[in-house]
Amino acid sequence: MPWYKRLRWRLVGSQFLVALVGVSIMMLATRIIIINSAPVVLRPLLEALLQNPGNLLQTEADLIIAFRNAVLFSVLFAAVGAVVAGAFSSALLWGTIINPLRQVADSSQRIADGRFDERVTVPESSGVAMAQLVTSFNQMTATLEQIEQQRVALLGNIAHELRTPLTGLKGYLEGLMDGLFPANEETFAWMTQEVDRLGRLVDDIQHLSRIESGQFKLDFQPVDVVQLVQRVTAQLYVQAQSKQIDLQGPSVPQPILALADADRAAQVLINLVGNAIRYTPQAGHVWLTVQENGRFVEISVQDDGVGIPPDAMPYIFERFYRVDQSRSRTSGGSGIGLTISRHLVWAMGGELTAVSDGLDQGSCFTFTLPLV
């Protein structure tokens, strides 16, 4: 039974207890008073009436007084009994409902003040209903605490990521001012590279925040995935060639239509192929495949590059996570490309997954899109 139903029955039960005690005491008191008052009150009145029948009116008045007293006393006893029962059930409710609720209210206030490590504990005697309520409350607080920790970590990560290109730029500027670097094309090209890196990072962060807060629109249309993959392969061909990487597109003769946002799907693919080229050494191989699987089309980007160690695998889709910090940074990676890609694929109704047999064993990233 859900906790709120138990609570409702507990409240109904306590009201019922008070009423039951009151009625029982009233019945008992009436019975006792009538039995006890018969020889003391009724009999003398009746005997007096028998001896003097003309006293009927007086006897009637005395009887009414006796009856009224009997009722008054039973009501009084019942009221006292009901008050005692009420006090007893209130004490029970205080321990099992009101006290835990007060603790939850106090903790909510402390959480509102920013103390996310707050937890409520209630004694076992509070019952299952309160235990369930408090467990849910503590789970909510734990989630809030986790979100807060992620927020703090994210701020730290952003600051750290921004500092790297800024430090580079500052170094060049100081070098220029001190005359260590000549004010020539090469120096300005290096500086422009750092500014570009900064711009890319800011764009990615803004993009990610829009995606995570759901502030972006998708333009769903039937998209020929085979054509899309071939187009992206051609687009990144020159980049692959600069590392003598053999980049091969899919060899699927007929179109495969998926319901997706063409630009976003291309963005995901460019990110995956870009990563494959980035994390594959000179003269390596990157190949793309497209195939139907049930209600989905699967697009895979496979490479024979540096691979991903098993212990890093669970984290590669997390913001700013990089397996090899230095390699990713020097190659211009911001560490949020996969996070953005996964969110985009989710938004289009698919999944993005990765497999790798470990370091230097290559990797395979696959994402799915629903077929039209």
- Choose the binding region for ligand ADP from 29-37, 60-68, 174-182, 329-337 (rule: CB under 6 A): 329-337
Strand residue runs (E) in the chain: 221-224, 246-248, 257-260, 285-293, 296-303, 352-356, 363-370
Compute the distance between CA of residue 137 and CA of residue 121 in angstroms, rounded to an integer: 10
Q: How far apart are CA 274 and CA 232, in angstroms?
A: 10
3-state DSSP assignment of residue 230: helix
Amino acid, res. 273: V
How many residues contact ligand ADP, by CB under 6 A? 22
Q: Cβ neighbours of residue 181 under 8 Å, at least 6 residues apart? A: 172, 175, 187
Q: Which of 159, 33, 165, 24 is nearest to 85 (CA)?
A: 24
Q: 165 or 337, CB closer to ligand ADP?
A: 337
- Using rule CB under 6 A, residue 275 touches ligand ADP: yes
316 binds ligand ADP (CB under 6 A): yes
**Per CB under 6 A, does 335 bind ligand ADP?**
yes
Does residue 304 contact residue 362 with C-beta atoms inside 8 Å? yes
Smallest distance, ligand ADP to C-beta of residue 329, A: 8
- Residue 129: count other Cβ atoms within 10 Å of its Cβ: 21
Q: Which is nearer to ligand ADP, 88 or 321 (by Cβ)?
A: 321
Whether the Cβ atoms of residue 316 and residue 308 lie closer than 8 Å to each other: yes
Q: Which of 276, 345, 348, 369 binds ligand ADP (CB under 6 A)?
A: 276
Does 14 participate in binding ligand ADP (rule CB under 6 A)? no
Rounded Cα–Cα distance for residues 13 and 93 (Å): 11
Query: Using the rule CB under 6 A, which residue among 190, 202, 322, 353 binds ligand ADP?
Result: 322
Q: Which of 78, 208, 323, 344 binds ligand ADP (CB under 6 A)?
A: 323
Q: Choose the stretch contacting ligand ADP; rule: CB under 6 A; options: 65-73, 81-89, 207-215, 334-342.
A: 334-342
Half-sphere exposure of 49 (CA within 13 A, CB side): 14
Site string for ligand ADP, 141-170 (x = CB under 6 A): ------------------------------
Query: Using the rule CB under 6 A, is 10 a contact of ligand ADP?
Result: no
What does the block give as tokens for 72?
């008054």
Under rule CB under 6 A, residue 290 binds ligand ADP: no
Please report whether residue 249 would count as binding ligand ADP according to CB under 6 A.
Answer: no
Nearer to ligand ADP, 224 or 324 (CB): 324
Please answer whether residues 305 and 362 qualify as being in contact, where contact means their C-beta atoms are separated by less than 8 angstroms: yes
Which element (helix H / strand E) includes 299? strand 296-303
Which residue from 14, 334, 366, 368 is in contact with ligand ADP, where contact means CB under 6 A?
334
In the complex, which residues of this chain contact ligand ADP (CB under 6 A)? 275-276, 279, 303, 305-308, 316, 321-324, 328, 333-339, 363
